[in-house]
C-alpha cells in the first residue's frame, strides 16, 4: 500500500506519518512547510515533496508516487484567519481540496481519507453529537471544512474512488503550535512553562471533547482499510471543562495553576462532545489515551524541546520535488 499524506509535516500529519511507517506503510508527504518547525517534523522514512495544494509541485508527487490512498490533512486551520481572510481560507481548504481530488481521479487513487472537523456542526442541538446532527457551521472555517465533504462524496460517485471522512474533536498533543484557537492545551502549557498565567474567556465551565493526537493518528491508519463511504466522528465522547483542563495541567506539571478570567468571546460554543460509537463500529477505533496521560505526554514534550524526537536527515537531502508555490 502506497499512501500520500498532505500536510504530513504538520502537527497531526507528522503523527499520522509516524503511525503509517510504524505499520510498514510506504508513505510520502506533501507539505509547503508554512507551519513553524515543519521541516523538523519530517520523517526520515517518508519521501518528501515541498509543494502546495495550489502549486505545480502537487502533480509531481502523484506522477512519482502513484499513491493508492491519500490522507488529506493540509489545511488553513485558524478560525480567526478564516474570519479575516475568507477568500484565502476558501482557496486553501475548498479549491485546494478540489485540485487534490482532480489528481486523485486522474491517477486512479483508490481511496481518500479526509480530515474534517467538529466545526461543521456549529452550536450543538444535542449532546453527544452524532454524525446525523445538522451541519450549521458558525465560521468560514467551518464552512470550508464542510464543503470538501460534499466534493469528496460527489467525486466518489462520479469517478469511483472511495472515501472516509473523519470529523475530529479538539485534538491536542506533542508538536501542537501554541498559536491559534484550536490549541488551547498548547496555549496553556506554553504560557505555564514560560511562567505566564493562562487566560480563560468566560467562567471556564465551557466544555470540549479533547482527543490525543496519538489516537487521531491511529484512526487515520484504520481508515485506510475500513469505513469506506462513511463519515465518522473521532473523539472521546467525554466533556472536560476549561477549568478541569487547567486542574489536570497543574497535576501533570506538579504545580498549581490559577487562570485569569476575561469576558466571554462572542460566538464561542458552550459545550461540545462527539459521539464515537460509529468509530468503534466501522473502524474498530477506541481512544487509548485518557486526558491526564495525554497531558503528561504533551507537557513532557514541551519541556524537552520544541522539535520532534523522530529521526530526521537534512532537508536538502530529503526533497524529492521542490517547487515555488
Q: What pLDDT does 323 receive? A: 34
Q: What pLDDT does 316 receive? A: 40
- Which residue shows C-alpha cell 495525554? 294
Helices (H), the chain: 11-22, 57-65, 79-84, 86-90, 96-106, 140-159, 184-193, 213-225, 242-253, 277-278, 291-304
Residue 288 lies in a domain: yes
The whole-angstrom separation of Cα 174 and Cα 310 is: 12
Residue 129 DSSP label: B
Domain span at residue 207 reads 2-307+314-320
What is the number of other CB atoms lying within 10 angstroms of the CB of residue 68?
16
CATH number at residue 280: 3.40.50.720
Residue 325 lies in a domain: no
The percent helix, strand, coil of the chain (3-state, each to 5) is 40, 20, 40
Residue 8 lies in a domain: yes
The whole-angstrom separation of Cα 256 and Cα 258 is: 7
Q: What pLDDT does 36 receive? A: 77
- Asked if 195 contacts 261 with a C-beta cutoff of 8 angstroms, the reply is no
- Asked if 59 contacts 52 with a C-beta cutoff of 8 angstroms, the reply is no
Residue 222 lies in a domain: yes
49, 121, 141, 172: the active-site residue: 141
Specify whether 141 is catalytic: yes
Residue 33 lies in a domain: yes
The whole-angstrom separation of Cα 105 and Cα 111 is: 10
Task: Report the domain count for the chain.
Answer: 1
- Asked if 283 contacts 228 with a C-beta cutoff of 8 angstroms, the reply is no
**pLDDT means per 10 residues in the chain (325 residues)?**
97 98 98 89 97 94 98 94 95 98 98 98 97 97 97 98 98 85 81 87 95 98 98 98 94 86 85 98 98 95 60 39 33
* b/e per residue 101-129 (b: at least 16 CB within 10 A): bebbeebebebbbbbbbbbbbbebeebbb
Strand 240-241 relative to strand 207-208, pairing: antiparallel
pTM confidence score:
0.92
Q: Which three cell numbers stand for residue 221?
A: 491508519
Cis preceding-peptide flag for 128 (omega within 30 of 0)? yes
The whole-angstrom separation of Cα 128 and Cα 1 is: 35
Residue 150 lies in a domain: yes
- Asked if 132 contacts 237 with a C-beta cutoff of 8 angstroms, the reply is no
Amino acid at each position: 500500500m502506497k499512501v500520500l499524506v498532505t500536510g504530513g509535516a504538520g502537527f497531526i500529519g507528522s503523527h499520522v506519518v509516524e503511525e503509517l511507517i510504524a505499520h510498514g506503510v510506504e508513505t510520502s508527504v506533501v507539505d509547503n512547510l508554512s507551519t513553524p518547525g515543519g521541516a523538523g517534523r519530517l520523517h526520515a522514512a517518508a519521501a518528501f515533496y515541498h509543494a502546495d495544494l495550489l502549486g505545480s509541485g502537487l502533480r509531481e508527487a502523484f506522477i512519482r508516487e502513484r499513491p493508492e490512498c491519500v490522507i488529506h490533512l493540509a489545511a488553513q486551520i485558524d478560525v480567526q484567519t478564516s474570519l479575516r481572510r475568507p477568500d484565502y481560507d476558501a482557496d486553501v481548504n475548498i479549491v485546494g481540496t478540489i485540485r487534490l481530488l482532480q489528481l486523485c481521479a486522474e491517477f486512479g487513487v483508490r481511496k481518500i481519507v479526509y480530515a474534517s472537523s467538529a466545526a461543521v456542526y456549529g452550536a450543538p442541538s444535542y449532546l453527544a453529537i452524532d454524525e446525523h446532527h445538522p451541519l450549521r457551521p458558525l465560521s468560514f472555517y467551518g464552512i470550508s471544512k464542510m464543503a470538501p465533504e460534499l466534493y469528496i462524496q460527489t467525486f466518489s460517485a462520479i469517478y469511483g474512488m472511495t472515501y472516509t471522512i473523519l470529523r475530529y474533536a479538539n485534538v491536542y498533543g506533542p508538536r501542537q503550535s501554541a498559536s491559534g484557537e484550536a490549541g488551547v492545551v498548547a496555549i496553556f502549557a506554553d504560557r505555564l512553562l514560560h511562567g505566564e498565567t493562562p487566560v480563560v474567556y468566560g467562567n471556564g465551565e465551557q466544555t470540549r471533547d479533547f482527543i490525543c493526537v496519538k489516537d487521531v493518528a491511529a484512526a487515520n491508519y484504520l481508515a485506510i482499510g475500513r469505513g469506506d463511504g462513511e463519515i465518522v466522528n473521532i473523539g472521546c465522547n467525554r466533556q472536560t471543562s476549561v477549568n478541569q483542563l487547567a486542574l489536570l495541567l497543574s497535576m501533570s506539571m506538579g504545580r498549581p495553576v490559577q487562570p485569569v478570567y476575561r469576558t466571554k468571546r462572542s460566538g464561542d460554543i458552550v459545550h461540545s462532545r462527539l459521539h464515537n460509537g460509529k468509530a468503534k463500529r466501522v473502524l474498530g477505533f477506541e481512544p487509548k489515551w485518557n486526558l491526564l496521560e495525554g497531558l503528561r505526554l504533551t507537557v513532557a514534550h514541551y519541556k524537552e524541546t520544541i522539535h520532534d524526537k523522530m529521526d530526521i536527515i537534512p532537508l536538502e537531502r530529503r526533497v524529492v520535488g521542490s517547487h515555488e508555490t
